[in-house]
Amino acid sequence: MENGLAEVEEVMKRLEKNNKFSDRYGVAPKNETSRLLADMRNLEGSLPDIETPKNLDELFISEAKRRVSGEAFYLEQLLEGAEYSFDQVMKIFGIPQQDIDELKPWLEQNKEKTEQAIGRLFSKREMAGYELPLSLDVPNVRRQSEEFAAANIHKYHRVIGRFLEGLTNVGEFLRDINATATDSDRSYFNTITNTLAISVPGICFSTEDGTLHLREGELIRIYGHEGMGHALNSVFTKAQKLPDFLKTCSSLAVAAQESVAQFYETRLLIDLKDSLQLQKRLGIEHKFDAIYQEHEDTEQLEEYKRKMFQYGITVLADRALGEMNDPLTLRRKIDILNQISLSRIYAVNLVNKYRYSFDSEGNLDSGLVAELRYCARPVERALDEFRKVGIKYEGEGRNKIDSTLLKGFWTPIGFVEHARVSAANGNGH
């Protein structure tokens, strides 16, 4: 098995060089890409099929085969313009059929709850017009905004970091993360510099009198998602003894990474809810209930929109509904989506937007189908593996679970297998 992993590591290094060249020049080196694809397919065939890994060696080989297979899929598309069916894409990305099947029932059960959340958000946002965007193009406003944001980011990073150090062993790795402000509209984590860059316009706003204000709830959400999720996942993984391919980001692993980030985004709010002392240290104890409720309502709405889009993809891809551009087929798809859509215009827009996103064989664009990897629920399944052996998310159990969830970059299936092996071994290492 060690030889098999060595071959995987070698081919992945070649792939990384190939991808960097393609990114730089916008074209793949044809001969090298052809050789690389052939070698990857041969390697895929030589690696054993391990349905249920029982130890780390088997786990690494099992995941290596999925990674090689998935990366070869991308090379085939790049080199040959290969076309893939819905089921083939599902298999390549390891998207559990159960998660696809559960989309519609979840939407049906949560439509009314989501509409109630929208009502609460609307009633609380009646003064939103007085929240003015920051004029970051004005030098003095930009300077003041950056200083204001940076001070609050530093405070939250310091206070929450110390709190988490006392709560879970992985919390100490937050020391390796530099939290700072960025003028970008999006917050992100730079894996090279270990910098957690939090968006100034995302967490700050001004009022008509020019006073700067902090969106505490959004700062907490971002810190949980980008800091406890993506950032800790990255720095903790770097420090672990793992095959290199599990320490390298891949589009095949982003679904599990995003699932981890969403988990810790919610987990931080729960930790805050359970600690009045932490709320006081942040100075938000008087408004935390409102922050928590807004997060709950916002996440309910965002999850509904995510799942609605994912379910929409399955409807668009359903060839049993008729010929892809037949007007009757289009109407049929719109009617199906309207049954659970929050707005009738959503179904019309979605179907019309992607009505021509089909290949010559009638398959929905594989890149669009690949978005379904985000409906996979690897963290929930991983937590179930720990529950099965009596490990709870508290005390030493939390240490074990956190060190498993944040260790490595896995495909959704590999992520759950890792949890199963860790749980069976009684530890997260």
pLDDT at site 207: 86
Q: Phi then psi for 325, rounded to 5 degrees?
A: -110, 15
pLDDT in tens, 236-289: 999 999 999 999 989 899 999 999 999 999 999 999 999 999 999 999 999 999
**Dist. CA 35–CA 242, nearest whole Å:** 27
pLDDT tens over the chain, length 429 residues: 455 799 999 999 999 999 999 889 989 899 999 999 999 999 999 999 998 999 999 999 999 999 999 999 888 888 888 788 999 888 888 888 999 999 999 999 999 999 999 999 988 765 445 678 888 888 888 999 999 999 999 999 999 999 999 999 999 999 999 999 999 999 999 999 999 999 999 999 988 888 899 999 999 999 999 999 999 999 999 999 999 999 998 989 999 999 999 999 999 999 999 999 999 999 999 999 999 999 999 999 999 999 999 999 999 999 999 998 899 999 999 999 999 999 999 999 999 999 999 988 899 999 999 999 999 899 999 999 999 999 999 999 999 999 999 999 999 999 999 999 999 986 444
pLDDT at site 136: 83
Q: What's the token pair of residue 220? A: 């907490």
pTM: 0.91
pLDDT at site 3: 59
Strand partners, 380: none
Amino acid at 242: L
Q: How many CA atoms lie within 13 A of 333 on its CB side?
A: 30
Amino acid at 259: S
Contact 226, 187 (CB under 8 A): yes
For the chain, what are the domain ranges? 1-82, 128-241+267-282
pLDDT at site 94: 80
- DSSP characters over 323-376: -TT-HHHHHHHHHHHHTT-SSHHHHHHHHHHTTT-B-TTS-B-HHHHGGGGGG-
H or E element: which one contains 4?
A: helix 2-25
- DSSP characters over 178-200: EEEEESSSS-EEETTTTEEEEEH
**Dist. CA 416–CA 397, nearest whole Å:** 17
pLDDT at site 76: 87
**Dist. CA 242–CA 48, nearest whole Å:** 20
Q: What's the token pair of residue 109? A: 């059960």
Coarse DSSP helix, strand, coil percentages of the chain, rounded to the nearest 5 percent: 70, 5, 25
pLDDT at site 209: 80
